[in-house]
Chains A and B, each alone.
Chain A
């Protein structure tokens, strides 16, 4: 077990800079998820840590030791590949023991470790089969087992669930989380699926174009995204953005004015924004209060998706901007209806013209605002 430090890490492929300069600290035993859209450099970052790619410059330290010039096999990391990368001509047992034979481990110890890993992953009865004879989920388990037998300091997972069907993905998500609980190793997990990130991580690292946008606990990112990119990426369905301007800024609060929408009074600390400033208001679909009394924004329903336990109302503002509203339970509202929706004041996100978060109040102010609402 070990902590991991990335320091001024740079990677470029020829003239293409994939990771400009990246600093990150991962504590011992943490489950860290790298998340971001495809091409954001998250897999490259993982491969740099694994030693499958050579860093252009910068340092990687595992448990205090620089490993930047250490071969992949000697870094004390094990990787689970997206394609599983099992050896197709070897049995499951041979797949699990190949790495241990390579480091000349004794037969007894290899057998013990393989049995232990197989038992932990419930693949004991599959040991004599070949990968071809296994289902996707079983192959995934074998790939994880191969990592476990090596007893690494750090586990690396490269989008390990993306080849599984939806149901199995949920199951394996839980299994990997349980595995982390049991083993307690540092784990780094790459995904583009923000649900996986939210449900599994101790700490999420949001990446865009090789740059860390934000690092934090899942709910921290959900509650206080530091910019519009993170706000839009974390949370499903994604956050609604309404662009407009500050009409008024006083001690009591600010007034947000969007085209074709009634002005919205937002309680905020004075001095954060000035009147006339262009801003974007972010409201998550689940943070609207619906009303029939004509208070709030008038929104026309274009599609009402009924999921049974939840309803998702796709609406448009009078100006034509799309807004998605989540309503718990089964909605009675249908296509073409007009409803009035008010954003919850304690759950508003305000972003400046560059997309950076504007803090609406201090932490105690958050509490005060939240206390008065249902």
Chain B
């Protein structure tokens, strides 16, 4: 027997080893449980993971939201009922955050309610425009696709620090303004400007992802439909509104849902870029939850848990609406 055949033989034995060990085990289990219960054996690893890392935290969250004090250990936490929710929702005038007991929650909520529609509209609009441009027969198309997708691969902290470097008082942008003889502007200190740049930077960072999805959608529209439209004397605008947009609708719906969920979850870029400031101008709901629960002393786990449950509820409703719309579409 040559060395090579011996090696092959040894490898074959090694490869067969798991089967040799597992097979008797499975046989034993099947005898013990019966064949009908066997699927559970295979499902348990995954179920355990889902239970441990998804379902359990939800229940822990519910538990924390109805208990008080700054203690972390559950047994040390007294039951307070709906007190956390009452604190969050306690307002004399819901239109004026300063009359609320937790005005930061309401400011964060207000900011989020403004941030999400503006950011989603800008994101989808610009991503669609980019996708349409990239879908054309332009020079260096592959290069531009890469360029627009590049920010998606960056870590959010890198994105934020890069833009901070550009936008801070003696940053790159102001350097440019001074160079052409303009007054420097304190971008991240002016509330409106900071809000604008919050939207801008998050759109810049995530747009590539949605561009790629929309590009795939655009490419799935058959070329000859466009040729038929050309023969039908359709103007570019008519082609866009009557052919491209309707045929892109399924893709747009997916992009919209994903975009809204991600927009509501925005946290890391803004936390590093503006820290929610100036004042509370760019604080969003997730940042409020994080600060209430972990950053500000004393740590108010219960209030943070209640706020995150409220946010979860809103997202759940939104997802249900999405499911409803998607189902309605496939049946109709």
Contact = CB atoms under 8 A, between A and B. Distances in A.
A78 B231 contact: yes
A102 B238 contact: yes
Tell me the interface secondary structure of chain B in the complex.
helix
Interface stretch (A84-92, A216-224, A336-344): A84-92
A98 B231 contact: no
Tell me the interface secondary structure of chain A in the complex.
loop
A150 B231 CA distance: 10
Max count, chain B CB within 10 A of own CB: residue among A52, A78, A82: A52
B233 interface: yes
A85 B225 contact: yes
A103 interface: yes
B247 interface: yes
B246 A81 contact: no
Contact of B232 (A52, A83, A89, A102): A102
A72 interface: yes
A87 B243 CA distance: 7
Contact of A72 (B230, B242, B243): B230
A73 B232 contact: yes
Given A52-B227, A89-B247, A99 B233 contact: yes
Nearest to A158: B224
A102 B233 contact: yes
A85 B222 contact: yes
B220 to A, nearest CB: 11
Interface string A89-109: 100000000110011000000
Nearest to A152: B231
B235 interface: yes
A185 to B, nearest CB: 15
Contacts of B247: 88-89
B95 interface: no
Given A85-B222, A88-B247, A102-B234, 12 more contacts: A50-B231, A71-B230, A79-B227, A79-B228, A81-B224, A81-B227, A86-B228, A87-B228, A87-B242, A87-B243, A88-B225, A99-B231
20 contacts: A51-B230, A51-B231, A72-B230, A73-B230, A73-B231, A77-B231, A78-B231, A79-B228, A81-B227, A81-B228, A87-B243, A98-B232, A98-B234, A98-B242, A99-B231, A99-B232, A99-B234, A102-B235, A102-B238, A146-B232
